[in-house]
Amino acid sequence: MSSRGKRRRAQPRAPEGAFPRARTAPARRARTRPARKQPERSWLPWAVGGTLLLGVGAGLAFVFGWVPGMGPGVPSPSAPTASTPAGSAPDATPLANPPAEPASDGTKVAIETELGDIIIELFTNSSPVAAQNFVNLASAGYYDGIVFHRIAPGFVIQGGDPLGTGTGGPGYTIQDEPVVGEYERGIVAMARTQAPNSQGSQFFIVLDDGVAQRLPKSGGYAIFGRVIEGMEVVDQIAAGPAGGPRGETALEPVAMTRVTVQGP
């Protein structure tokens, strides 16, 4: 056999950066393979997927937040509560046996605006929780300077949000109570989300008798008052310029200059 045949093959050298071998293991026949390069993961599919999920979620929130009973085409007076503590939550509790019709003890609230005054008679005897809540907030000056941020001709005007966006509230929510009455022209009711006990400070005033056919009482929007003077002012507010996704965001919102309580 030639000297070439007897020559031992040189052992391959481990590539730089490879993990070191254990010193106790024989290294004669072991081979060191280069570490495999991990494939680079693209962030693009994740970004696209996340964007689609956010879009779908926003679309569902938009639809279900504005449509009562999840039906198409009828915007609801929705009002997610947020973070502006003022006033105090009412001590009243829902009536176990509410009257068949709205009832008042004579308490009224006057909403002053640059267009004129709106006088509301409160249904303290049929919706004590919402009525007392409104009195507490008005007495604390909470509504002074807050605008009617939403105007939907033929449907409602809505106000009471300190943020002016439809997402604000007093920092607390009140209990649901039975809806007594119908959503007729001049009725004042609490705005809310679809979540239970989600009413806070936002309220709406009904513009047309036909709303009673469009807004189900099962939505839980507590009827707590009626406009007895100043519906012409409400109509002027509703006739203001509007925009936004649904054309219901007041572009020149009218503010409640001062809101005062008038005892019975």
pLDDT digits 0-9 by tens, 9-52: 444 333 333 333 333 344 444 444 555 555 455 555 555 455 55
User: In the chain, what percentage of residues exceed pLDDT 70?
Assistant: 67
| Averaged pLDDT, 175-202 | 97
| Averaged pLDDT, 47-73 | 39
CB 95 within 8 A of CB 67: no
Please return the burial class of 219, using the count of CB atoms within 10 Å of its CB with bins 0-12, 13-18 and 19+. Answer: middle
Q: In the prediction, which pLDDT does 137 show?
A: 97
Model confidence band, residue 59 (pLDDT cutoffs 50, 70, 90): very low
Q: In the prediction, which pLDDT does 43 show?
A: 52
Q: Which fold has domain 77-262?
A: Cyclophilin (2.40.100)
| Averaged pLDDT, 247-251 | 97
DSSP three-state, residue 70: helix
75 compared with 135, residue with greater pLDDT: 135
Model confidence band, residue 263 (pLDDT cutoffs 50, 70, 90): confident
| Averaged pLDDT, 179-199 | 96
Q: In the prediction, which pLDDT does 42 show?
A: 54
What pTM was estimated for this model as a whole?
Answer: 0.71
Q: In the prediction, which pLDDT does 228 show?
A: 98
128 compared with 35, residue with greater pLDDT: 128
Domain boundaries along the sequence of the chain = 77-262
Tens of pLDDT, residues 140-186: 999 999 999 999 999 999 999 999 999 999 999 999 999 999 999 99
**Beta-sheet pairing, 156-159 with 150-152:** antiparallel
User: In the chain, what percentage of residues exceed pLDDT 90?
Assistant: 64
Q: In the prediction, which pLDDT does 41 show?
A: 52
Q: In what order do the strands lie in the sheet with 108-113?
A: 242-243, 249-250, 150-152, 156-159, 203-206, 187-190, 223-229, 116-122, 108-113, 258-262
Distance spanning both ends of the chain, measured CA to CA: 124
What is the overall mean pLDDT for the chain? Answer: 79
Which has the minimum average pLDDT: 13-22, 126-135, 254-263?
Answer: 13-22
Q: Among positive and negative, which fits the CA dihedral 133, 173, 100, 75?
A: positive
Which has the minimum average pLDDT: 16-25, 63-72, 191-200, 213-222?
Answer: 63-72
Q: In the prediction, which pLDDT does 67 show?
A: 32
Q: In the prediction, which pLDDT does 214 show?
A: 93
Q: Is the pLDDT of residue 230 over 70?
A: yes
Q: Which helix (H) or strand (E) holds 108?
A: strand 108-113
